[in-house]
Amino acid sequence: MASAPTANGGSSLAEYDLILKLAQHLDRHMIFPLLEFSAGQLVDEESGEIKDEAKAREITQSKFSLLKKTNMTDYVANLYCELEGLKEPPTEFADRRQKVFGQLEKYEQETSKIIELLERDDVVNNLRSDKVANLEFLKRDHDVTIEMVNALFDFGNLQYSCGNYADASEMLYRFRVLSTDNDKVSYATWGRLACEILTMNWESALEEIQKVRELIDSKLAQNPLAQLEHRTALLHWALFPLFNFEKAREPILDLFFNAGYINTIQASCPWVLRYLAVAVITNRSRAKNPGMHQKQMKDVVRIVKQEAYEYQDPITRFVHALCIDFDFEEAQRQLVLAEEVLRSDFFLLAHADDFVESARHLIFESYCKIHARISLKDLSARLGLSAEAAEKWIVNLIRDTRLDAKIDYKEGTVVMNHPPSSVYQQVIEKTKGGFFRTQVLTAAIAK
Amino acid sequence: MSRFFHGGGDSSSESSSDEEELYSTSDEEEQAEEQESSEEGEKEDSSDDEAGPAKKGLSRFLLDQASSESEGESDVEATAKVKSAKDKRFDELDATITIIQNGQKINDWGSIANEFDKLNRQVAKLQDGGKAPKAYIKCITQLEDFLNESLAKQKVTPKKMNATNARGLNAVKQKIKKNNKDYQAQIDLFRKDSDAFMESDDEEVPPPPPAKVKLQMPTEEAGEDEDKGFARVDKRGKAIPFSPESIQKHLRAILESRGRKNTDRQEQIKIMEELNKVAATPYLKIRVLQTLVSARFDLGSGTTNVMPVEHWKAAERELAALLELLEANKDHVVLENVEEWDDDDKVPVLGPDDKYIKVAGSVVSYIERLDDELTRSLQAIDPHTSEYIERLTDETSLYNIILQGLLYYETIRKDASLEVPQESLNRVIQRRLDHIYFKPAQVVKILEENSWKNVTSGIDSETTPRALSGDAGQLIHVLCNYLFEHSEGIIRARAMLCQIYFLALHDDYYKARDMMLTSHLQENIANFDVATQILYNRTLVQVGLCAFRKGLVYDAQNTLQDICGSGRQKELLAQGVMMQRYNQVSPEQERLEKQRQLPFHMHINLELLECVYLTCSMLLEIPLLAQTGSSPDIKKRVISKTYRRMLEYHERQIFTGPPENTRDHVMQASKALAAGEWKKATHFIHSIKIWELMPGAEDIKTMLAKQIQEEGLRTYLFTYAPFYDTLAVETLSTMFELESPKVSAVISKMISHEELAAALDQVTETVIFRKGVELSRLQSLALTLSDKASALIETNERTLELRTQGSANAFSRKDGRGGGQRGGGQRGGRGGARGGAHHGQRQAGGTQFTGGALGAAVRG
């Protein structure tokens, strides 16, 4: 669908561009922002000039072929003009436009009655949670036929295709309330998710994600292949809220770390690991539950290790170097590369600084864990900071994290103090919960 | 009617006692003939041609002489008993025949019907080699004539028969038609010339023992010119006209005698070979070839005996001919779901509406049978002889047949109207896959090229185009994919395993592993048949070996653990029967197990397997042993019980000589490694000869050396940490000949995983060991106790959870439980499994294939 961003010269970034891989699992409407973004990247920030004509043209071309099949006729016509250098779009676009309008009108008529009904309070108040009964009720009292309900679905579909995401979402919502057709309901749920994402309505997008997830788990349990495909799609779609909506992070990370989805990432789309790794690393400071974060980090490390043969990019290599090989120099090198990659990624652009900061933190943390004495000079090199800035940074860090470390200024070193965990403490830790758990047990037995 | 009533005239010079003796000897020989049918059959076949009758006459004469002269009285006496029993039956037969004849005279159909039944029963006992006594033939022929006569009469005269008579008539009418079909050849003969037929009877009765002919032919000249009477004589096949018209009747007769006792298969095959020459139309040819191939397969039936090689080859040729015939005559198809053609007198012709002449039969079954027979024959041959290799070359021709069969099925599947079941095609493809999956790509390539040479150049396969033959990997991929899409159940699982096996064999570890994990086979392999379970085990081993070649010691050990840890590799891989099993196996089971054995050329080298397994175990176990040291929970973490046992045994030895076998080498290497002498360990491991059998032996040795260096470093640190305060990285680096960043990395890893209580000093480049970390005995006991206490609580919670069927979710603590459960499952599996049928059960316990989370996730 979208043409490949050409690897001009030895551009290392192009090699890590995931747009092609992502596009396979996204809806065409969702690919569009990605293409916009790549086009935006080509524009020189100061002069506003386009750096690479050929490539820009290519992107426009792919935009055109992307949207050709949709019903956003006006925009497509414009794109066509731009591509061919025409002033007036050919008449075929006008024809299509007419046709689309005709269809819209037709559906509008077909659905007007049911929409009207659904807006009436007396009708809505009579609806119950039982869909079959609802339909019966509407059939009996208001002459609603199943065709009318299905028309809602088609109308929603058409709206979506025309780019009226908000309306489409509304239609599909109504359809879902009434329809008993399981397949169509699941389509509608997907459709709504797409609409919410495209209208950046993250809260409801989250809800839809949850719904889709349930659908996948329940309906497709018998069909592992379809389940895999659906999960892959969901993972990709969920990237939008994951990086754009702060509150979505926890639940979506939860989703990603669910066994079934981790498995999906490993089986069919290892490139999602990049996003997962970035999300987890940057989540460090935000995580309410440090234990949770540690566990997620461990999971990420494990998967990165397992998938190293299949997928690698600077971000995963950074994780690999830091947490598996303990090669701090390599980690530092990869971090520099990773920053570049992040800055050219649609989803991660906004998180680049955050990531670099958190990554430094991570390096320092594991460095301190292993070393008893570190030379400041060396450390500043590792963190990619000047000696003075590094010192400041470390002081801040020591203060923030309450690390047991001191700076020996004369020697120019940081001295760590690793208190050995006492055996007594360990025994206490291990037996702490015992009493409570036993109590719960007895209570449960007594019940 | 005496059996010899004509014979008397023939050999008047012989006395009656001689006659009796003659009869008895011949009788004895008949029995012998039955027993050693194959030998004699061939002999007779060879002497069956023109000269046959004359020779037979002569030899019969010689035999008489021999038996009366050389063999003494005792012989006669010994056979006397047999004679009387048989003679009595003949007498009974005669009596019955007389009654029937009387019945015919008075038109008493009731008694005829009864006697006819009796007659048939008697004849069944008297038949030898499918031949009925002549008197019987005469009787039934006459009876048939009479029957037709009376039927005709009845039509003309409206006079009513009485009820008994009418019933009898009808009964005989129905029976005789069916019955006479069996003896059609003889009846025809009789009709032609009844006198000659009855006369021939006598000549034919005593078939000469071939051994004696050979012996005595040179000594006794054919003094008396054998009279013409013998020359006229016809024996079995010859007199029976092999005309295209009679082919179907012959075939039916043969088919009906199939599976019965006393049928001479060799003889039938002979007949059919003749028929094949005569058969003119494709239809008849197909029919003959089908029956012929089936008959050949019958030779190898039974549980013990193997189909003779020459017959296998003949069957192979005939099957090829059949396939060629089908290829050349596209309007003839052989299908399973067609009704048999019942009319023996006519040949089905192409109707105006029909596109095909359909013949009932199953090409795929023939192919499968041919394949199975080859396997059986290979099982029976000693693999270290040249005979085995010779026999193995037949695989190529078999592969040709499979390929042609595949092409045939593809052609007929194109026509939807034929309703060829998908399954047939699947079966052929599966067979093809079975022949290539375990072979290296180059071998497959040669095999493929050779078989395509035999296919006419215009023809190409849809599923596996000719162009694909050059690329074995691609070919396997296509074949397997086809089966994934079009089949289910066992065939699908087998296809998957075959592909994994092939991938693993060609060092595509990750792909193989991923497929293995996503196949979900480790959960339900127990539900499959034993052959598939064996294939699963083989695949598992192959994946393990592949991991080892890749240097993934942990994965390799983990994968091989299931098979090698059990100590029953031979049995699990079907490469040998376990010897000592407390006599719990019934002969039946043992036979089954023998049947399952793989032919030698498919074997995985068990010694190599053991070597790999032990080496991996060593690399994992030695650092672990050093780490756990003398702490009380030493028993807790055992990676390989087998290895531990061997190590203990080795350590118990008072004197250890230089290593002799693989196991010794690994054990001594382990000892050296444990002492920190990595160079010595490397030397021991490198001097194992069997590495040469692996592709890229040098790389593997280098890889192992590297692993030993690292593990040596770790072991050294674990073992000697308590004796050091600080240790320079530089020193370690020279000691283990590793670069210092590498040493630092290893140490960092150990520190980070909290395996080593130490810290690095970056400024001085040293390792500082923390003091006061070693626990006193009391402290470690306290720790163990607290561990056990929490384990107890956990078990309690789990028990309750089980009792309340998961409603008490409050206790769910998913993490950190896997290990315990897993170990338990494995132990249970090992204890419970016994006997060949339990393969799967053991597998179920060991689902932790390659350990990773992927495994857990897939299972979840």
Write the CA distances from A257 to A26, A300, B512, B857, integer angstroms: 21, 9, 25, 11
Longest CA span, chain A: 90
Residue B501 has a pLDDT of 92
Residue B616 has a pLDDT of 92
Give the count of Cβ contacts less than 8 A between chain A and B: 108
Lowest mean pLDDT among A50-59, A245-254, B219-228, B349-358: B219-228
What is the rounded average pLDDT for all residues in chain B?
72
Residue B155 has a pLDDT of 65
Percent of chain A as helix, strand, coil, to the nearest 5: 75, 5, 20
Residues B177-208 have pLDDT tens digits of 777 777 777 777 777 666 665 555 444 444 44
Residue of A263, A375, A434 lying closest to B762 (CB–CB): A375
Residues A213-223 have pLDDT tens digits of 888 888 777 77
pLDDT confidence of B43, banded at 50, 70, 90? very low
Residue B208 has a pLDDT of 42
B60-63 long-range contacts, CB within 8 A, separation 24+ = B60/B203, B60/B206, B60/B208, B61/B224, B61/B226, B62/B208, B62/B212, B62/B213, B62/B216, B62/B217, B62/B220, B63/B25, B63/B206, B63/B208, B63/B209, B63/B212
Residue B848 has a pLDDT of 37
Chain A residue closest in CA terms to B511: A310
Write the CA distances from B85 to B30, B80, B126, B208, integer angstroms: 14, 9, 11, 22
Q: Coil, strand or helix: which one is B581?
A: coil
Answer with the residue of higher pLDDT: B237 or A24. A24
Q: Using CA atoms, how far apart are residues B503 and B500, in angstroms rounded to an integer? A: 5
Q: Do B22 and B57 have their domain in common?
A: yes
Please tell me the total count of domains within chain B. 3
Residue A257 has a pLDDT of 87
Chain B residue closest in CA terms to A302: B853
Query: Helices marked H in A120-248 — which ranges?
Result: 121-126, 131-142, 146-162, 165-178, 182-198, 202-219, 224-244
Q: Is the residue at B720 inside a domain?
A: yes
Q: Is the residue at B182 inside a domain?
A: yes
Average pLDDT, stretch B502-514?
A: 88
Q: Do B171 and B273 have their domain in common?
A: no
Q: Counting Cβ atoms within 10 Å, is residue B494 exposed (0-12), middle (13-18) or buried (19+)?
A: buried
Residue B849 has a pLDDT of 41
Q: Is the residue at B699 inside a domain?
A: yes
Q: Is the residue at B145 inside a domain?
A: yes
B747/chain A closest Cα distance in angstroms:
9
Does the pLDDT at position A89 exceed 60? yes
Q: Is the residue at B738 inside a domain?
A: no
Percent of chain A with pLDDT over 90: 0
Q: Is the residue at B582 inside a domain?
A: no
Q: Which chain B residues have a beta carbon less than 8 Å from that of A373? A: 761-764
Lowest mean pLDDT among B81-95, B403-417, B694-708: B81-95
Residues B517-536 have pLDDT tens digits of 877 788 888 888 888 888 99
Average pLDDT, stretch B252-275?
A: 71
Residues A60-73 have pLDDT tens digits of 777 777 777 777 77
Does the pLDDT at position A266 exceed 70? yes
Average pLDDT, stretch B131-137?
A: 71
Query: What angle (nearest 5°) sits at the alpha carbon of residue A427, between those of residues A422 and A433?
Result: 130
How many Cβ atoms sit within 10 Å of the Cβ of residue B645?
12
Q: Do B109 and B70 have their domain in common?
A: yes
* Structural domain containing residue B374: 244-431
- In B499-558, the residues whose Cβ lies within 8 Å of chain A are 510, 514, 518, 520
**Strand (E) or helix (H) holding B333:** strand B332-335
Closest listed residue to residue B61, CA positions, set B199, B229, B197, B198? B229
Q: Is the CB of B808 less than 8 angstroms away from the CB of A427?
A: no
Q: Do B34 and B74 have their domain in common?
A: yes
Residue B856 has a pLDDT of 34
Average pLDDT, stretch A307-313?
A: 83
> End of a domain among B413, B431, B449?
B431
Q: Do B365 and B421 have their domain in common?
A: yes
Helix axes B422-436, B489-505, angle to 10 degrees: 20
What is the rounded average pLDDT for all residues in chain A?
79
Residues B56-90 have pLDDT tens digits of 444 444 444 444 444 444 444 444 445 566 677 77
Q: Is the residue at B580 inside a domain?
A: no
A215/chain B closest Cα distance in angstroms:
18
Q: Do B627 and B720 have their domain in common?
A: yes
Residue A419 has a pLDDT of 66
Answer with the residue of higher pLDDT: B267 or B640. B640
Q: Is the residue at B197 inside a domain?
A: yes
Q: Is the CB of B752 less than 8 angstroms away from the CB of A369?
A: yes
Chain A residue closest in CA terms to B779: A423
Does the pLDDT at position B41 exceed 60? no
Residue A11 has a pLDDT of 43
Answer with the residue of higher pLDDT: B681 or B857. B681
B249-258 long-range contacts, CB within 8 A, separation 24+ = B249/B181, B249/B184, B249/B344, B250/B275, B251/B275, B251/B287, B251/B288, B251/B291, B252/B181, B252/B344, B253/B181, B253/B182, B253/B184, B253/B185, B254/B291, B254/B295, B255/B291, B256/B182, B257/B130, B258/B294, B258/B295, B258/B298
Longest CA span, chain B: 131
Single-letter residue type at A410? K
Q: Do B184 and B41 have their domain in common?
A: yes
Q: Do B43 and B167 have their domain in common?
A: yes
Q: Which chain A residues have a beta carbon less than 8 Å from that of B750? A: none
Who contacts A101 (Cβ-Cβ below 8 Å, separation ≥6)?
Answer: none
Answer with the residue of higher pLDDT: A178 or A307. A307
Residues B466-505 have pLDDT tens digits of 777 778 888 888 888 888 888 778 888 888 899 999 999 8
Q: Which chain B residues have a beta carbon less than 8 Å from that of A433? A: 790
Indicate the pairing of strand B726-728 with strand A371-375.
unpaired
Lowest mean pLDDT among A182-196, A256-270, A332-346, A377-391: A377-391
Query: Helices marked H in B107-221 — which ranges?
Result: 109-126, 134-156, 163-182, 184-192, 194-204, 210-216
Q: Which chain A residues have a beta carbon less than 8 Å from that of B804? A: 444
Give the best-scoring range by mean pLDDT among A259-263, A377-381, B464-468, B791-795: B791-795
Residues B642-700 have pLDDT tens digits of 888 888 888 888 887 888 888 889 999 998 988 888 899 999 999 888 888 888 888 88
Structural domains of chain A, ranges and CATH numbers in brackets: 270-343 (no CATH), 371-447 (1.10.10.10)
A389 strand-pairing partners? none
Residues B787-810 have pLDDT tens digits of 888 889 889 888 888 877 655 444
In terms of phi and psi (left: phi > 0; alpha: psi -120 to 50; beta: otherwise), the region of A384 is: left
Query: 């002081």: which residue's tokens?
Result: A395
- In B759-778, the residues whose Cβ lies within 8 Å of chain A are 759-764, 768, 770, 772-773, 775
Lowest mean pLDDT among A157-171, B44-58, B119-133: B44-58
Residues B378-395 have pLDDT tens digits of 888 888 888 888 888 888
Give yes or no for a contact between B332 and B357, defined as CB atoms under 8 angstroms apart.
Answer: yes
Chain A: which residues have CB within 8 Å of chain B?
Answer: 224, 259-260, 262-263, 266-267, 299, 302-303, 306, 309-310, 325-327, 366, 369-375, 378, 411, 413, 416, 418, 420, 423, 426-427, 430-431, 433-434, 437-438, 440-441, 444-445
Residue B741 has a pLDDT of 84
Q: Do B197 and B233 have their domain in common?
A: yes
Half-sphere exposure (Cβ direction) of B520: Cα atoms closer than 13 Å: 11
Q: Do B175 and B257 have their domain in common?
A: no
Q: Do B201 and B253 have their domain in common?
A: no
> End of a domain among B209, B239, B269?
B239
Average pLDDT, stretch A357-375?
A: 82
> End of a domain among B373, B407, B431?
B431
Give the best-scoring range by mean pLDDT among B42-46, B152-156, B736-740: B736-740
Answer with the residue of higher pLDDT: A254 or B263. A254
Average pLDDT, stretch A289-303?
A: 83
pLDDT confidence of B543, banded at 50, 70, 90? very high
Residues B599-656 have pLDDT tens digits of 888 888 888 898 999 999 999 888 888 887 755 555 567 788 888 888 888 888 888 7
Q: Do B227 and B255 have their domain in common?
A: no
Residue B757 has a pLDDT of 79
